[in-house]
Each structure stands twice: as C-alpha cells, then as structure tokens.
Structure 1
Amino acid sequence: MTARLRLEDLNDLSEGTFTAYFAGVLEHSPQYAAQVAAGRPYRDAGALAQAFAQAALSGSEAEQVALIRAHPDLAGKAALAGDLTPESAREQASAGLDRLSPAEYEEFHRLNAAYHDRFGLPFVVCVREHDKASIFAAARERLSHTPEQERRAALHEIGRIARLRVLDLIEPSSPPGATMTIPDPSAHVPAPSAALVRVRLGDNNYGKADVRLFKVFRDSPRHEIKDVWVRVGMRGDFGAAHEVGDNTDLVATDTVRNTIYALARDHLTGSVEEFGKTLVRHFVQAGPRVDGAYATFTQHLWDRLPAPGQDGGHDHAFARQMPKHTARVEGDGQNFTVESGIDELFILKTTQSGWAGFHRDAFTTLPETTDRILATTVTARWTYREDAPDYDAVWARVYGTLLEVFPDHYSHSMQHTLYRLGEAVLTRCPEIERIHFSFPNRHHIPYDLGRFGLENPGVIFHADAEPYGVIEGWVERE
C-alpha cells in the first residue's frame, strides 16, 4: 500500500505528483485526480474526499457512465484472473469476496449478468461497508431501479469508495514535532483537528411535519369538514446531499407543504388513509431521487352543534370531539402498508375492576383491591388484511367496540381488559389483522378524609397524574 501523506504536505505537492499519488481514488480514472488537484487548498482529508465525490458527480452523463463501467464486477473475471487494481483487490478481500463458496460464486455471476442485461453496467457498491449477505441484498434490491436511479446509486457508492480510499492515503494526524514551545497562557490556541472516522449514512428521510390542513365541503347547504395534521417523509438516494452538499433533484420541504394543500382540494374526498396513498404516489413519481414515502395523519373529529327544531344538528356549526383518528401510510407508489389508529380516548369505570393476587416482595406496599376506579387513555393502532377496506367504517366499528366492551366485564387487571378488547375488535372487524393497545393506568386514589373527622365511602379520590403504570400489547389472529 502507498505510504500515507501528511495532511500539511497535501497542498504543497506539484500537480503531477498529486495526480499520481491520488490516481487510484476513482477506479481507472486518474483524470479526476488532476481535476481535484486544481481545487486546492483543502482544509482536511474530509474536504479532499468530498472533492473526489463531487468530481464523480460533475461529469456529463456519458462521463458518469464511463466512470461506473471502469469498475470491475464483484468476484468477476478480473478478480479470478488477478487483474484487479490493488485498491479493488484489497476491498473485495475485506468483504471475503476472494473466499467464496462455489454457490456464492454462482450467485455473484448471476447477479453480475442480470446487472449487465438490465443496465449495461457493473454492480458498484462500497464493499468495505458491507458483508457478503448485505451485498447480495443490495444487488437484488437495486435490480428494481430504473436506469436513472441505478446510475445515481452507483455514483453514490463511488463517492463512498473514494472517501475511504482518500482516508487510506492521508495520515490521520501529523507526527509530533522535534521541538517544544512553551505556550503563552493568554493566547488563544485552536484545538487540534480530530482525525476523521469512517462512517456511512444510515437510514434517513426528510419531509414536512405539522401541516395543519382544514377542508370544508360546501357541496350542499349542510357542510362537512376535515381537520387533519399531516406529516410527509420521503426516502431515497439522498447520500450526495448529506455527504457533499449536492442538492440536485431534491424536493424542497416547502414544496411538500404546498403539495399537500393543493392535492387535498381534489383528492381528500374520503378517508385520510386513501389520501395518504395519493400523497405517497405523487412524491415517488415527482421526486427524481425519491423511491419511497410515508404520510402520517392526526384527524381531529368534530360533531355538529345542536340546532333547535333541526334533527341531526346544525348545518355549519361544530364542536371538536375526542378521540382522534390517526393513520400512517407507507409505500413505493404501487404497494402500500396502512396502519390506522385511535388516540386520546379517555375512558373510565367507577367499579367492576380490581387488582389482586399479584406477586409481593420486600418492596411491595400496594394493598390488594377488588373494587377500584379503572381509568386510562387509549392509544390503539391496527393493520389490515385487505388492500382497500372502507377505512372510515372500520375505524367507527373499532371505536364503537371499545366503548361497548370496556364496561361489559369485571376487569381483573388492565391486561385482562386489553385482551378482551382486542378479541372483540378482531371478531367484529374481519378487515383487521392485528391491533396494538397502549394503556397508561390513570390512578384514582381514595383521599384520606379521616384526618378531618370525615368518612370517605369511596366517593372522593385524588386523580394522580404520575408516576403511572403502562400496559401495552398486540392482540393478533392465530
């Protein structure tokens, strides 16, 4: 391996020496090293690595394709023949690609052939950030790309490869000097630069949150309303923005907000879940770097104010209600995962609940009881067995079931009631696959009036806010 260069010497090299030293950073493409040399001075190894990544992105489409094609197939003919560059040989060995089983060689051969058939390109990945299993997984996933998406993905990986190669060539810190200087205590001494560690961008997304959308349906004199807080997040090939500050083809979050309002005019006509599918489809199609998106909703429910002499309430006056209708829709524009929910449903019963027979130890002070107030704030969410149920009708059925079943039995514990509620929901809602509940136990503690010479026959309680127990769980179909 080439001897490492001290950072302080980097900017003093002649252009020819710089180009020769960094010629292997971008595979078989020393011309980029000459381009990067012209951009000196660089403040540190990270800035130099960014310059190489940016150089790879800055070429014409034909130049970008040529750079991608300069890379060898993984475990391909060049590797078997020993014709890899020293950099590629070390990198492929680091992931164990020089020690494959016959079956693994066959799998790489199949994936390489599929890549050339589909894209006319080799599969390029920063193997030093992967193992064999994750390389196989990435190749299979990226075969679903469009040619444009794959070109961007390959250039992103080339930037990752270049970064690690640059860090290999630069000393992480300067060696200590031969002389010692006594510092002036009154002088400002800048902190030494820490050596860059090797990192990679993990799972990430961006979008717009807390978009407060209110829609009035004025199709008739009797108005309807939708009051929804929306969040949209996008996933995709955003590595260049994070790593080299390249915002090319990124959708602005301000655009996301405007899009939500604009699409709501014609597409928010039914459930928020169906509107979520519309939003996901739009951003996957409209965002050049977007390959997936999600939309979450908190819908505030309103009921009509009473109107004298008018059945069904007022035509255009409302009061906000509890609980809230929540939802999350995620997908790639064609396939969707939908989760609906209920939040901030406050329910309580004043009897028919107890907590007895539990384990006791040296730290247990709670007395057993067979008659207590049971109170909680329900947060529930559920997933579906069907692709397109009537989401609003299912939500109303779940809500009605919770209200009906919560008081219909003696609750030996909140766990007991959680199971009963889940069982009832899955029985009455065949569209639902499973349901999750979170029940904070809102304690109501009998208040001691004996200090004042008064009896308290279970009528006065202190509603204790915290700390509180939390009971959570899924109820699922067998």
Structure 2
Amino acid sequence: MNVVLGPNRYGKAETRVVRVVRDGGVHHIKDINVSSALSGDMEDVHLTGDNASVLPTDTQKNTAYAFARKYGVDQIEDFAILLARHYVDSQPSIHHARVEIEEYFWDRIPVSDGPHLGLRDKQHSFVRSGREVRTCVVHHDRDGRTTVVSGLKDLVVLNSTGSEFHGYIEDEYTTLKPTSDRILATAVSARWRHASDGSAFGKSYAEVRRCLIEAFAETHSLSLQQTLYAMGKRVLNTRREVCEVRMAMPNKHHFLVDLEPFGMDNPNEVFYAADRPYGLIEGSVLSDTAPDAAFAWE
C-alpha cells in the first residue's frame, strides 16, 4: 500500500484585532476576528519536518495587527483581500491563501451632561450590539484568482403569523399536527458569492441584508424551505454583484401551550420557545450564469 500526502493547509485561527480610530473626541471601533490558512509547496514540512517553506502562524498573527495599523480596517472584505494577496505575492512557497473574518458590531452610548462637565464632544463609550455577526471568506491563488464570499450569521427574525405547515408525509411515528397559522422564527446564516472582487462591499452588505429581511417578512410561508428560496431569489434579482447565496436556517420552534388544565383557552397567544431539538434547513440559490468557484466555499 502506498501512502501519500493529501490536501493540506495551515494558518492562524481567530486573531482578534480591535482598531480604534480617534477623530478628536469622537472614537470609532472596528472589532474583527481574523483567520488565515495557507497552502502550496508544503510537502517537505509534512514528510521530513523541513520548515523552509513555512511562514509561521505567529507571523500571520502579527501581519494582521501590522496591516490594521498600516492600512486601517474599513470593509472586512477589502482587508481580507489585502492579507490574502500579501501572503501569496510575498512568499514563493505559498500558492493559495484563505482569509476569513468575522466582524462584531458596537453601538455608541449617547452622552448627556451638564454644561460644566464638557462631555458632549467626548464620544468614546460603546455597548456591544446584539445584532448579527458580519462575515467574509476570501481566497486568492498564484494564478491571480480571487473569490469573495460575504455573509452574516445569527440574524434572528420572527413572523408571528403568515406561516403554515401541512401536507407533509405522515407515518406511524408522526405526531406533528398540521397548522395553517404558526410562528416562524429562525437565526439566519447566509453567505453570498460576489461575481467579482470589485464590489462596494459596505453598500452591498447593507442591501443584501435588507433583501433577506424584507423577503422573510413579505413571504407567506408554507415551509421554511420556501422562505429560504424566496430570500435567496430576492437577493439575486436585486443585487447584480451577487451570483450565489447559501443559507442555513434553524427552525426555532414555538409551541402553543395547553392552558386547558387551568380553565383557560389559548387563542394563539402563549407559546413555549424550544431551543432544541430543531429542524435545520439548508440550501443554495444561484444564477444559471454564475461562474464555477467551488473552492470559494471551502
């Protein structure tokens, strides 16, 4: 039997970078989590322990910090492209770089004070926002190909009506009752592939997020699968820079509580929110002209 080395990569995972921009007394925060993974001419380090082709993971961590200082951090996709191209272009042994970034949002705490305190121009207090996490994954290789996948996760949405579920397979183990009026809630994880790496990523993110939320709200749902498709279709029909959307949507079940033992009815008003187990709906929606880039999702 012959034993060979298969696909491999290595890198630095979850380098937390917080950059504060001081504009007088007004501060701005960028809070990101950077993970890099490199591959290429790496056979010797695995087979013989020769590290001559290895850029240390500690160096990758330091590069993220240094680039944050040197170039700043605006849109996370642009920062990821900058890092990925640097690794491939600067090191002959590195043929492919994958950079993934998560962004965490902070809301400014409003300041009010008396005239003697002089705090109105000192806006430097923040509270961690409860909204979703913004994400991106960038791939860049020595052939000059760059792919950008933007995304978000933990976008929690809920429709208190306008959702049905019936007509499904029923066998000897089925206990779920059909319904024509239920709560539909989910925590959306969505990723979308850009047709090129030249998008205005900040505007694109805001518009894709808007499309997802509006489609969720406006779709009378017969299944969460139908809603997922409607959300992806809305993005592709609205945002021409996007060629593929992939989503994972857990069904956050809300069960009507039986109040009859207490002599009360329950006309769809009181529910038990169950955290597990849950249905998990996953799917992709793509343009029939989308260029193939399977590695973009790895």
Quick check: TM above 0.5? yes
In the alignment, structure 2 segments of 5+ residues that lack a partner are 114-120, 289-298
Q: How does 1:229-240 map to 2 (within 5 A)?
A: 229-240=33-44
AA aligned to 2:274 is D
Please give the per-residue CA displacement for 1:196-221, whole angstroms capped at 9, x wherever unaligned. Answer: x5311110011100101101111443
Local SS of the residue matching 2:197: coil
Is the radius of gyration larger for structure 1 or structure 2? 1
User: What is aligned with 1:159?
Assistant: none
Q: Considering only aligned residues, what root-mean-square deviation do their CA atoms show, in Å?
A: 1.8
Flag the 1:475–1:360 CA change in 2: closer, same or farther, 3 A.
same
Q: How is 1:51-450 mapped onto 2 (pairs within 5 angstroms)?
A: 198-308=2-112, 315-321=123-129, 322-332=131-141, 334-450=144-260
Q: Which runs of 5+ in 1 are unaligned?
A: 1-196
Quickly say closer, same or farther: Cα 1:425–1:314, change in 2 above 3 A.
Answer: farther
Aligned to 1:471: 281
Deviation at 1:297, TM superposition (A): 0.6
In the alignment, the residues of structure 2 paired with residue 357 and residue 292 of structure 1 have an alpha-carbon distance, to the nearest angstrom, of 48
Tell me which protein shows more strand as a share of its residues.
Answer: 2
Structure 2 Cα separation of the partners of residues 407 and 289 of structure 1:
49
**1:71-113 per-position Cα deviation (integer Å, ceiling 9, x unaligned):** xxxxxxxxxxxxxxxxxxxxxxxxxxxxxxxxxxxxxxxxxxx
Per-residue CA deviation, residues 91-142 of structure 1 (Å, 9 max, x unaligned), is xxxxxxxxxxxxxxxxxxxxxxxxxxxxxxxxxxxxxxxxxxxxxxxxxxxx
Count of aligned pairs: 279
How far does the alpha carbon of each residue in 1:236-293 deviate from its partner, in whole angstroms, 9 at most, with x for none? 1111111111112321111111111011112233211111111112212333421111
What is the alpha-carbon distance in structure 2 between the residues aligned to residue 308 and residue 229 of structure 1? 32
Matches of 1:435 and 1:220, distance apart in 2: 41
**C-alpha separation between the residues in 2 aligned to 1:314 and 1:340?**
34
Name 1:45's counterpart in structure 2: none
Q: Which whole-Å CA distance do the structure 2 matches of 1:431 and 1:225 have between them?
A: 28
Q: Give the distance between the partners of 2:98 and 2:286, measured in 1 at CA.
A: 24
| Whole-angstrom distance in 1 between the partners of 2:217 and 2:198 | 32
Q: Distance in 2 between matches of 1:238 and 1:385?
A: 30
Distance 2:136 2:126 in 1: 23
**Counterpart Cα distance in 2 of 1:221 and 1:430:** 40
Per-residue displacement from partner, 1:407-455 (whole Å, max 9, x unpaired)? 2232111111112111211122111001111111010111122223332
Q: Counterparts of 1:266 and 1:220 in 2: how far apart (Å)?
A: 20
Identify the structure with bigger relative contact order (alpha carbons < 8 Å, sequence gap 6+): 2
- For 1:354 and 1:405, the matched residues in 2 are separated by 16
Change (3 A) 1:433 1:317: same
